Structure 1
Amino acid sequence: MTAAVLPGAVQPFTVHFDDLDAMGIVHNARYAVFLERALSDWWAQRGHSFAGGRPTTPDVTHAVVEYSISYRAPVRGTGEIGVHFWLESLGDSSAVYRFRILSVDGQTVHAEGRRVNVKLDPRTLRPSPWTDAAREICRPLLAVPAEEPAQ
């Protein structure tokens, strides 16, 4: 990806033949999968994933509570794209992600949207706070950097 896209991260992604619909464009339902895989890869690279069917950290246990997407230009055929994502806000137990599906050169926005996660306690499945470790890891994703605590 060549476009400067700050804040956030851009995960390169490969569109495969089975992502396409009968017209040879990416099926609308696949965009959510692209974001899910990009987020999963980004967090896994930082030690937050599932191993042996179990979460590696308590912050991996979360649920999507809201999702919206707007389609701007179809992705035609297979090949490389980019998934740009960032955090619009990080609450006590919520995380509001914004995202864009981009052409490989970063010039075309194929889709954009919003996804809201709520972190859950793995035992009770009730909302619970993000850990300090997760907050630190996701700091580069924040649209507006978190203020430093007053001394």
Structure 2
Amino acid sequence: MAAKNETRADYAHFLPIPTRWMDNDVYGHVNNVQYYSYFDTVVNQWLIEQGLLDYINSTVIGLVIETSCAYFSSLAFPDVVQAGLRVAHLGNSSVRYEVGLFRNDDNTVSAAGHFVHVYVDRASNRPTRVPDAMRAALQTLMLPAHA
């Protein structure tokens, strides 16, 4: 699990995500449920950009089976979240993505978490091997210190 002293150097890929007015809660910071949306956005945006996710026609799909988030400092509208992404574990049919959320240009993580995808055959809903092209691309997100 990520630690609060992690920096941008601990992540392999970044996606800027603007916060929205509606992301803030009555306490004046981004509500905790939005953090999971940011996690989902950076992972799926990367998969789509790599040509690895066709959410309408893919015969192999990733289902989320586990998530967590640790909060270290607040995000708030109008911050731009810099979502850092890495792969911490690549198994036969599963991938553990770890995401660090950075406030604007901050170098220290504001929140960090993970989620695990299990890849399944869309028709049978049974676990299947991560496709070779996806496996090769996911390996580019693995950092030696975190693999």
TM range (shorter): 0.7 to 0.9
- The answer (yes or no) to whether the contact 1:88–1:144 under 8 Å persists in 2 is no
Alignment match, 2:51: 47
Give the 3-state SS of the residue equivalent to 2:76 in structure 1.
coil
CA distances 1:16-47 after superposition (whole Å, capped 9, x unpaired)? 11111112210000000011011111111111
1:6, CA displacement in angstroms? 4.7
Alignment TM-score, normalising by the size of structure 2: 0.85
Give the 3-state SS of the residue equivalent to 1:40 in structure 2.
helix
Distance 2:39 2:96 in 1: 13
**Structure 1: runs of 5 or more not aligned:** 146-151
CA distances 1:30-88 after superposition (whole Å, capped 9, x unpaired)? 0000110111111111113346xx13x444x1111111111100102223121111010
Alignment TM-score, normalising by the size of structure 1: 0.83
Distance 2:139 2:119 in 1: 16
Q: Cα gap change, 1:18/1:100 in structure 2, threshold over 3 Å: closer, same or farther?
A: same
Alignment match, 2:127: 127
Give the 3-state SS of the residue equivalent to 1:39 in structure 2.
helix
Q: Cα gap change, 1:58/1:144 in structure 2, threshold over 3 Å: closer, same or farther?
A: farther
Q: Which has the higher contact order (CA 8 A, sep 6+)?
A: 2
Give the 3-state SS of the residue equivalent to 2:121 in structure 1.
coil
Alignment match, 1:88: 88
Distance 2:11 2:105 in 1: 17
Mapping of residues 31-70 of structure 1, within 5 Å = 31-50=35-54, 54-55=56-57, 57-59=58-60, 61-70=61-70
Give the 3-state SS of the residue equivalent to 2:26 in structure 1.
coil
Question: RMSD value over aligned CA atoms?
Answer: 1.9
Give the 3-state SS of the residue equivalent to 1:76 in structure 2.
coil
1:14 and 2:46 matched: no
The 4+ residue runs of structure 1 with deviation greater than 4 A are: none
Alignment match, 1:115: 115
- The answer (yes or no) to whether the contact 2:71–2:110 under 8 Å persists in 1 is yes
Aligned length: 139
1:75 and 2:75 matched: yes
Identical pairs, percent: 23
